[in-house]
Structure formats: structure tokens, C-alpha cells
């Protein structure tokens, strides 16, 4: 059997981007910040809420006991339970998922088991919120560790987006809106439910990395411009692939007067970008792509579109996590593939296709530190709770937010990814 990322990090903590990743994630539940693996630039949400503390008995349980409990609870709960797992989850957890997929697929998967009483989402907070909005009102959605957030999602808060929107509305007030709106708000799935609701209220839409180009086409049929948040890289990469010149994709900064741009730049803009980024994908560089090509002539390089534009340009292909999976599945024995995305997924693909050479572009082992917080201990504790009739770590999006957010999410579900 191949070695999981967790086993690698535990055996040699110094090989990872932060040696503290080898600790149990409960160590970080109550400390400010994102803990190991996060970028120093990551915005820390305020007030800092870390209510995911795991009972000590579960912190101290052996791996064997945790896995025995998870298996037993799954057996007892049967079809009353569905477990969804994102590709970036650790092997120790993803093995229990009934569906494994990218964000778009998991949003759809949340709809496919309407009879299940509970959806346990092994992913991050915005994914569980989305599942709660899309699920039937009677269904419970659980995020096993409430501290599993997404640092990028926290880089766009509702107040800043509202403030930027008001400035833009003032600037575009004289435009003829009869045929096309001045701006269509597009939020990446990696955002709070409140921002999805903002998009629902303002004629906007949600996108994922798999359907971003379909969504931008949808938006340009309805508006002159798009305000894209929080991920500047996905917005820029998607706009560029559609032929939008870089100079027409300025960054807006809600903290600066005039959004940090001169008015003419904002009037000429096609895609207004928000300055958010993913600390995992920001680590990938053009130098790593060049190194892979030098070390492995003929290597195929595929990266996630959350990577900076020069990295996407230097790669042979880019796409969502499921597009990366399909790229590998379509390759041939003997192929060499370098991947620019989260290491748990890359290592899993390498183990699944042992007749190919598959490796992560980043030589340092750096998982998504927040996805990593779904340790088997949290899964065992929440499943044991269900067996005992207690719903632990439930995610509930208030109705007034969920109603508007669902409008933007339904538009997203109708915008099918190309080539999937
Ligand atoms: P996917 O939609 O491609 O699964 O990406 C989600 C994500 O958070 C990537 O960082
Ligand atoms: Fe968020 Fe990046 Fe982790 Fe994806 S990989 S969940 S964008 S922090």
C-alpha cells in the first residue's frame, strides 16, 4: 500500500511546509489564525471563532479504534447517512466517502440523496453551507470540524463587497442599462453563503473552477462587466482564456479610495478582480514547471486555475480537480505528469496509476491546512453522535440568506462545465 500524506508528514515533519502539520488538528482549533500551511498574508476572520474542539477521549483514541467506530457507525446508520468528500481530503477520511468529487460535483451530490437524514461533508465550511442551502429543509448537514474553513473564502467579506458595489453603481449610474446591466457579480464557490446571497439579489451567479467559463459567458450575455470575487487568479485565468485583455481586468481594492483605480480604468473594465488568492495554489511557480520539464523531457504539466496566470500559461493544461483527475485517467501507461494542485489528491492519483510517473510540482509536502482539519477523530465523534441521536457540528444557513443564495446556486447548477 502507498504512503498517505499524513503518514509522510508524521514520519518526517520537516519535509512539509510546516512541521506542525504532524500534530493533531485539535491543537489549532482554538488558536487564532489558520495554523500550519497558511500564508502569512491570509486574512484572519474576525471575530476569530474556533468552536471545533474535539473531546479529549477522541483526541487520545488510537487510529484503530477511530476507524472501528467510523465503520460501525456507518453500518448502523446505513442509508440515513451520506458522506461527501472533496478530492483534497486525507486518505484516512476520503475512504469513507460515498461520493468523492470537485466542488461542482459535490454540490450536485448533495441533491442526489434526498432520503438521507444527514449529509456529513468532509470538505470545508463553504462546501457544507452550500450543501445545506441545496438540501431538503429536513436534512442535517454536518461539518465534522467547524474549524475547517477556507482562507481564500474569508478574503471577501460581505461589508467590503457591498462597499465596492456601491462605489461601482455610483460610477456606472449614467450608463444605459436597458439591454445590459453595468456589472454582474460572480462569486467563486469558495465564498460565504452571504456573498452567494448578494449575487442572488443582484442578478449574479456562483461559479466553480469547473464551470467558470460557462458562467462568465452567462454573465456577459447579461452585463457589460463582471465583478469576480474572491479569487483573482481564477477570474484572471478564465477571462484571459476567453480573450479578455489583461489591461481590462483591473483589481479593485475596497479598502482604497476609488477602489484603488482611476475611474476610466473601471469604466473600461470587463472583469473587475478581487484581490483574494489560495495560499496552497499560490505556492506553484513557473520555475517549478521549468524544473519539471528539465528533469522529465516530455512531461505533461496540468495545474488548477487557482494558480497564478504565469503558471497556468507555462503549463500544458489547467482545470478543476475533476478535470485534473480526467486528464490523468486519459493518459497512457509510461506517461509522466506533473500536477499543480493539493498534494493529497496528487499522491492519490499517483497511487491509483502506478504505471505512470505522477508527482506534485511543489517538492515540499503542503496540504490544504484547513481541509486537513477533518481528522478521523472528528468524523468518528460526529458519527457516534448521530448513532446516539445527537447532531454535532451542524451547519445551518439562516433562511433569509439561504433563499437568495439558492437563486445564485441554481444558476450555477444550470451552467454545466465544458468537456466534463
Ligand atoms: P474544485 O472546485 O476544483 O474542486 O476546487 C475547490 C478548491 O477549493 C480548490 O482549492
Ligand atoms: Fe481554500 Fe485553497 Fe484550501 Fe481550496 S486549497 S479550500 S481555495 S485554502
pLDDT of residue 265: 98
- Tens digit of pLDDT for each residue in 350-409? 999 999 999 999 988 788 988 988 999 999 999 999 999 999 989 999 999 999 999 999
Give the whole-angstrom CA distance, residue 76 versus residue 249: 53
Q: What is the pLDDT of residues 185-212, one digit of tens each?
A: 999 999 999 999 999 999 999 999 999 9
What confidence category does residue 14 fall into, taking pLDDT thresholds of 50, 70 and 90? confident
List beta partners, residue 83: 120
Instruction: Answer yes or no: is 44 within a domain.
Output: yes
Note the pLDDT tens digit of each residue in 95-107. Answer: 999 999 999 899 8
Domain assignment present for 365: no
| 347 within a domain of the structure (yes/no) | yes
Residue 335 has pLDDT above 60, yes or no: yes
Residue of 43, 128, 371 best suited for mutating to test ligand 2, as the one with most atoms within 8 Å of CB: 371
Read off the pLDDT band of 46 (50, 70, 90): low
Same domain, residue pair 95 and 28: yes
Question: To which residue does cell 480537480 refer?
Answer: 321
Output the domain CATH number for residue 27: 3.40.50.10800
Residue 306 assigned to a binding site: yes
* 129 & 258 share domain: no
pLDDT of residue 20: 78
pLDDT above 80 for 32? no
102 and 135, same domain (yes or no) = yes
Mark whether 233 and 175 lie in a shared domain: yes
Q: Choose which residue among 86, 153, 237 to substitute to test ligand 1 binding: the one with the highest number of ligand atoms within 8 A of its C-beta.
A: 86
Residue 170 lies in a domain: yes
Let me know whether 13 and 98 are in one domain. Answer: yes
Residue 304 is assigned to a ligand binding site? yes
The DSSP secondary-structure symbol of 55 reads: P
Has residue 419 been placed in a domain?
Answer: no
84 and 142 fall within a common domain: yes
The verdict on whether residue 103 carries a ligand-binding annotation is yes
Query: In this structure, is residue 196 part of a structural domain?
Result: yes
Question: Containing domain of residue 180, as a range?
Answer: 156-277+403-414
Protein residue whose Cα sits closest to atom 6 of ligand 2: 150
pLDDT at 76 over 90: yes
Nearest CA to ligand 1 atom 4: 102
Per residue in 236-295, pLDDT (tens digit) is: 999 999 999 999 999 999 999 999 999 999 999 999 999 999 999 999 999 999 999 999
Q: How many CB atoms lie within 10 A of CB 332?
A: 7
Q: Specify the number of domains making up the chain.
A: 3
How would residue 41 be classed by pLDDT, with cut points 50, 70 and 90? low
User: What is the structure's pLDDT at 329?
Assistant: 98
In a domain, 317, yes or no: yes
Can you give the pLDDT at residue 215? Answer: 98
Tell how far the Cα of 239 is from the centroid of ligand 2, in angstroms.
21
| % residues pLDDT > 70 (the chain) | 94
* Residue 354 pLDDT: 97
In this structure, the answer to whether residues 149 and 161 fall within a common structural domain is no
Which runs of consecutive H residues, i.e. helices, occur in 222-330? 232-241, 263-268, 286-295, 309-314, 321-329
Same domain, 66 and 212: no
Atom of ligand 1 nearest to the CA of 150: 8
Is residue 331, in this structure, part of any structural domain at all? yes
Q: What is the pLDDT of residue 15?
A: 80
Residues 325 and 290 occupy one common structural domain: yes
Residues with CB under 6 A from ligand 2: 124, 150-152, 190, 278-280, 306, 342, 368, 370-371
Q: Are residues 84 and 66 both part of a single domain?
A: yes
CA distances (Å), 187 to each of 6, 155, 203, 276, 333, in order? Answer: 32, 12, 12, 11, 39
Amino acid at each position: 500500500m502507498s504512503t498517505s500524506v499524513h503518514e509522510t508528514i508524521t514520519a518526517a515533519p520537516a519535509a512539509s511546509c510546516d512541521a506542525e502539520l504532524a500534530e493533531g488538528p485539535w491543537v489549532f482549533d482554538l488558536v487564532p489564525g489558520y495554523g500550519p500551511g497558511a500564508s502569512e498574508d491570509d486574512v484572519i476572520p474576525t471575530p476569530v471563532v474556533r468552536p471545533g474542539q474535539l473531546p479529549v477521549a477522541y483526541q487520545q483514541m488510537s487510529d484503530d479504534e477511530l476507524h472501528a467506530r467510523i465503520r460501525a457507525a456507518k453500518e448502523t446508520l446505513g442509508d440515513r447517512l451520506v458522506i461527501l468528500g472533496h478530492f483534497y481530503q486525507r486518505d484516512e477520511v476520503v475512504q469513507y466517502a460515498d461520493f468523492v468529487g470537485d466542488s461542482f460535483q459535490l454540490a450536485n451530490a448533495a441533491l442526489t440523496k434526498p432520503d438521507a437524514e444527514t449529509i456529513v461533508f468532509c470538505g470545508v465550511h463553504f462546501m457544507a453551507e452550500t450543501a445545506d442551502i441545496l438540501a431538503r429543509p429536513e436534512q442535517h448537514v454536518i461539518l465534522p470540524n467547524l474549524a475547517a474553513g477556507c482562507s481564500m473564502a474569508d478574503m471577501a467579506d460581505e461589508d467590503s463587497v457591498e462597499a465596492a458595489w456601491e462605489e461601482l453603481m455610483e460610477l456606472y449610474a449614467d450608463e444605459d442599462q436597458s439591454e445590459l446591466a453595468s456589472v454582474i457579480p460572480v462569486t467563486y464557490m469558495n465564498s460565504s453563503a452571504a456573498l452567494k446571497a448578494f449575487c442572488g439579489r443582484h442578478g449574479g451567479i456562483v461559479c466553480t473552477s469547473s464551470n467558470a467559463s460557462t458562467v462568465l459567458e452567462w454573465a456577459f450575455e447579461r452585463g457589460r462587466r463582471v465583478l469576480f470575487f474572491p479569487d483573482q487568479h481564477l477570474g484572471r485565468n478564465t477571462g484571459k482564456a476567453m480573450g479578455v485583455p489583461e489591461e481590462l481586468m483591473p483589481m479593485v481594492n475596497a479598502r482604497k479610495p476609488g477602489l484603488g483605480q482611476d475611474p476610466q480604468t473601471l469604466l473600461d473594465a470587463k472583469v473587475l478582480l478581487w484581490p483574494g488568492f489560495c495560499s496552497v495554489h499560490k505556492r506553484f511557480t513557473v520555475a517549478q514547471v521549468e524544473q519539471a520539464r528539465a528533469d522529465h523531457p516530455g512531461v505533461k504539466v496540468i495545474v488548477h486555475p487557482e494558480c497564478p496566470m504565469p503558471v497556468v500559461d507555462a503549463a500544458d493544461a489547467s482545470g478543476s480537480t475533476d478535470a485534473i483527475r480526467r486528464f490523468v485517467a486519459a493518459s497512457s501507461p509510461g506517461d509522466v505528469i506533473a500536477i499543480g494542485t493539493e498534494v493529497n489528491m496528487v499522491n492519490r492519483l499517483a497511487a491509483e496509476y502506478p504505471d505512470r510517473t505522477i508527482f506534485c510540482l511543489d517538492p515540499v509536502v503542503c496540504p490544504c491546512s484547513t481541509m486537513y482539519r477533518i481528522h478521523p477523530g472528528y468524523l468518528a465523534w460526529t458519527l457516534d453522535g448521530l448513532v446516539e441521536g445527537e447532531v454535532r457540528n451542524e451547519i445551518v444557513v439562516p433562511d433569509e440568506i439561504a433563499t437568495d443564495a439558492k437563486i445564485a446556486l441554481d444558476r450555477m447548477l444550470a451552467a454545466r462545465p465544458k468537456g466534463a
